[in-house]
Structure 1
Amino acid sequence: MTDVNMTLGLYTFILRLLLPVALLRLIWRSLKSPDYRQRIGERLAWGRPAPSADLWIHAVSVGEVQAAELLIRQLLAREPSRRILVTTTTPTGAARLRELCGESVAHRYTPYDLPGILHRFLDQVRPALVIVMETEIWPNTLAACERRGMPVILANARLSARSARGYARLTSLTRTTLARFACIAAQSEADARRFIALGADPERVRVTGSIKFDLRQPASLLDQAESMRRAWGVGRPVWIAASTHEGEDGPLLMAHRQVRVRIPNALLVLVPRHPERFERVAALVMRQGLTLVRRSRQDVCRDDTAVLLGDTMGDLPVFLAAGDAAFIGGSLVPTGGHNLLEAAAAGVPVAIGPHTFNFATITELMVEEGAAVRVVDADELAALMTDWLGNTPLRARIGEQGRGVVERNRGALERLIALIDECRSV
């Protein structure tokens, strides 16, 4: 048996041992977010079968779903009869998919990366092509698709230096797994170099850019934002803390206290990334002695309200468009940050923390172009937000620079579609 087969066998053996733990973790998470215990059988390819599809798109959660939506709309516009199945790992991703795409695509939860489960799943779906969004590299899934002659494209692919170091520890397995992709459509030259260094065939790695630059704001967004802004208070300074993670909310509330020393009527719209954290964050705000209203309850935002908790799904684009400035979460803690482009496209100046390895290329471009500012801690963030909220011309200039970055970098979606056509014709 080759080293690769031994390593893959060991990986599969460990994954089998961990399967009960994974299922128990779903049940544990469902105590705070009941959706996690729904449709568990889909993750095992048991029970209700997945529908057959021409195309299987795998998108982990909300961010990948939003990127995939751009691709889905383009593909369906060209071929309305195309049957598309989208899998997600999280219920929030599933909910966002339904909001964006309705019934135009089918959804199932992602099957675990074990041969028997994948055999059942692929027997049900029988896709002609598989598209994996961004960073999902599952050895058994790729091996199963290769055996069945199903080409797999890694689309909008990104690979941070930290992730590359992790994959490099399993050199032979990583090289063999990457070789099973029909094409890797990398977001940047740096991403492409990392994939090639890990063993990907240079002939199969293309730099297409990030399709997230191709986002289109809905025509109703401006009207929704203006309505929301009136509800917050006309002329009131507002900053958005978007997609925050555990460990960030406390420092952000401390920063907001400092902002309110200089700007007493400033409002913070605090939007946790995960719904299961909504109650904990609400309790934290109350313990800090700050007045709180909640979006989910349609509470009235009064002049003395300090914090609005964005505890609903799908409202973040409107929050960002309605705000004066934004902080993008997951970056004060070592989570790796989230996408800045929704705020930039809305013309809103953006702040990020020191940890942005998940969106390194986009973040560095935004910072270099003067469309975003990096801060190291809550004190720096407080000073920056105080400066921005008190200076309308400065905000407008930075916001326009952000819009310009988005416009100049469009086109990745068109290049990705060309690659998909190329794979289908082979």
Structure 2
Amino acid sequence: MKALNILIIGFVWPEPTTTAAGQRMLELIHFFLKQDCNITFASTAKKNTFSYPLDSLGVAQKEISLNDSGFDLYLSDNKKDIVIFDRYLTEEQFGWRVAENNPEALRILDTEDLHSLRNTRENAFKKGVPFTIENWKNNSVTKREIASIYRSDVSLIISSYEMQLLTKELNINNSLLHHLPFLLKAKKVKKIPFEEREEFICIGNGNHAPNKDAVIWLKKEIWPLIRKQLPEAMISIYGGHLPEQILQMHNPNQGFLVKGWAPSAIEVMRKARVNLAPLRFGAGLKGKLITALQANTPSVTTAIGAEGFSTKHLELNGTIAETAKTIAAAAVELYSSKEAWNKAQEKGEKLLKKLSNKEKTEKEFFKKIEETIQNLQEHRSSNFIGAMLQQHTMASTKYMSKWIEAKNKKIE
């Protein structure tokens, strides 16, 4: 296959040192660079100090605007073989423009995680009601996200649970989906033994609602239970973009240390004895748990935190618990018992070995791309729902966007 020209439309500029989504995007960029692709990364977002220097990789960069027909002219003059939408929101904004101005391009949606699943769970949590599949199906965000999946030629799904949800609950054809977890490669990391490790750790980007809630729950309910049994224990909270509410929780007297952004997540993780990820809502495959596996650090998390792995892997590398009491008990046991800690670490090594199949995963992904490009018209013809939704989008979103653009010009 010839060298492909690829446009990635980012929801934000990649931040691999602060978010799992940023790590994921950088993995995709490296994958396509290995295939000798020419990549342009575009985004409507503003860059910040955590934004990755894409120019160092030879990736072209382009700032774009919402509701701007200039993007149409760019596509017309710079035809792409593949356009990748970073999350469904970018597909909503730019998908119809790509379909209209560069119809021959393969349209790939990288869902990151199912935002509708996370949104439904967060709403249920805030209302104090159980999450149900029916509530997820009835959520307007779900309808929008699933519409984006149908309008796209291929959607990348990071979580095995979410693949099952889409295929079994919504009967979405497998031809429209591709399971693409993190691209992990086996590598040796020098082990730090139980005796040389200190503290608990909790890590996560502060802009991500599940992470913020996890730290609040940890501080208010879980940590006091741990300190009651381990009065000298300390925990370090790491993460970029931590809100003021989290920063104010810093209290050395309580052993609760809010340290903020860490340049290397794996380095701080490998020095900790136990990783705590008490996630009460969320979706996807958790980067913090992958980092813990790579650092040989046992974790305590919830079923939601671990669901991205297949069911048989849930209890490997630590403990799954759901209440403040059981999470604290599991944390204390792993922190205090060298035997329990070593067993968890050994299981984690086995799990990481199973997950470290980067070459196979990349080969399967490239095969999916090749086959879909070669049979693109047939592929689209078999996706009638997608064609119907694309037609609806052309008739509604398109003209709304043009109206907003015209209104903005008039104001100027």
Name the amino acid aligned to 2:176.
V
Matched, 1:249 2:215: yes
> Which residue of structure 2 aligns with residue 416 of structure 1?
365
Residues 143, 180 of structure 1: 8 Å contact kept: no
Name the amino acid aligned to 2:35.
R
Residues 174, 198 of structure 1: 8 Å contact kept: no
What pairs with 1:247-396 in structure 2 (closer than 5 Å)? 247-254=213-220, 255-272=222-239, 274-277=240-243, 279-286=244-251, 290=253, 306-328=255-277, 331-332=279-280, 334-336=281-283, 338-339=286-287, 340-353=289-302, 355-356=304-305, 360-362=307-309, 364-367=311-314, 369-396=315-342
**Following the alignment from structure 1 to structure 2, what is the Cα–Cα distance between the partners of residues 88 and 404?**
41
**Following the alignment from structure 1 to structure 2, what is the Cα–Cα distance between the partners of residues 84 and 171?**
29
Q: What is the SS of the residue equivalent to 1:419?
A: helix
**Following the alignment from structure 1 to structure 2, what is the Cα–Cα distance between the partners of residues 135 and 404?**
34
Gap change, CA 1:328 and 1:366, over 3 Å in 2:
farther
Gap change, CA 1:236 and 1:184, over 3 Å in 2:
closer
What is the CA RMSD across the aligned residues, in angstroms? Answer: 4.1
Higher deviation after alignment, 100-109 or 181-190: 100-109
**Following the alignment from structure 2 to structure 1, what is the Cα–Cα distance between the partners of residues 112 and 247?**
36
**Following the alignment from structure 1 to structure 2, what is the Cα–Cα distance between the partners of residues 117 and 206?**
31
**Following the alignment from structure 1 to structure 2, what is the Cα–Cα distance between the partners of residues 83 and 312?**
29
Q: How big is the shift at 1:314? A: 3.5
**Following the alignment from structure 1 to structure 2, what is the Cα–Cα distance between the partners of residues 170 and 95?**
29
Q: How big is the shift at 1:355? A: 4.4
Residues 186, 192 of structure 1: 8 Å contact kept: yes
Q: How big is the shift at 1:316? A: 1.8
**Following the alignment from structure 1 to structure 2, what is the Cα–Cα distance between the partners of residues 138 and 187?**
18
Unaligned runs of 5+ in 2: 122-132, 376-412
Q: How big is the shift at 1:421? A: 3.1
Residues 135, 158 of structure 1: 8 Å contact kept: no
> Which residue of structure 2 aligns with residue 139 of structure 1?
92
**Following the alignment from structure 1 to structure 2, what is the Cα–Cα distance between the partners of residues 172 and 406?**
35
Unaligned runs of 5+ in 1: 1-52, 292-305
Q: 1:208 aligns with which of 167, 175, 179?
A: 179
Q: 2:196 aligns with which of 232, 235, 254?
A: 235
Structure with more relative contact order (C-alpha pairs < 8 Å, separation 6 or more): 2
Q: 2:106 aligns with which of 136, 140, 151?
A: 151
Name the amino acid aligned to 2:333.
D
Name the amino acid aligned to 2:341.
R
**Following the alignment from structure 2 to structure 1, what is the Cα–Cα distance between the partners of residues 362 and 70?**
32
**CA deviation string 1:106-148 (max 9, x = no partner):** 4456754x46475366457643212235665733422222222
**Following the alignment from structure 2 to structure 1, what is the Cα–Cα distance between the partners of residues 353 and 249?**
39
Residues 178, 199 of structure 1: 8 Å contact kept: no
Name the amino acid aligned to 1:235.
E
Q: How big is the shift at 1:346? A: 2.2
Residue identity (%): 12
Name the amino acid aligned to 1:341.
I
**Following the alignment from structure 2 to structure 1, what is the Cα–Cα distance between the partners of residues 32 and 20?**
19
> Which residue of structure 2 aligns with residue 119 of structure 1?
72
TM-score by length of 2: 0.66
> Which residue of structure 2 aligns with residue 70 of structure 1?
27
Higher deviation after alignment, 187-196 or 68-77: 187-196
Q: How big is the shift at 1:390? A: 0.8
TM-score by length of 1: 0.64
**Following the alignment from structure 2 to structure 1, what is the Cα–Cα distance between the partners of residues 73 and 321?**
48
**CA deviation string 1:55-111 (max 9, x = no partner):** 1234546222212222322322331x623426485757x82533x884432445675
Name the amino acid aligned to 2:302.
G
Q: 2:41 aligns with which of 85, 88, 91?
A: 85
Q: How big is the shift at 1:400? A: 2.3
Matched, 1:104 2:67: no
> Which residue of structure 1 aligns with residue 351 of structure 2?
405
Matched, 1:183 2:183: no
Q: 1:56 aligns with which of 7, 15, 30?
A: 7
Gap change, CA 1:132 and 1:322, over 3 Å in 2:
farther
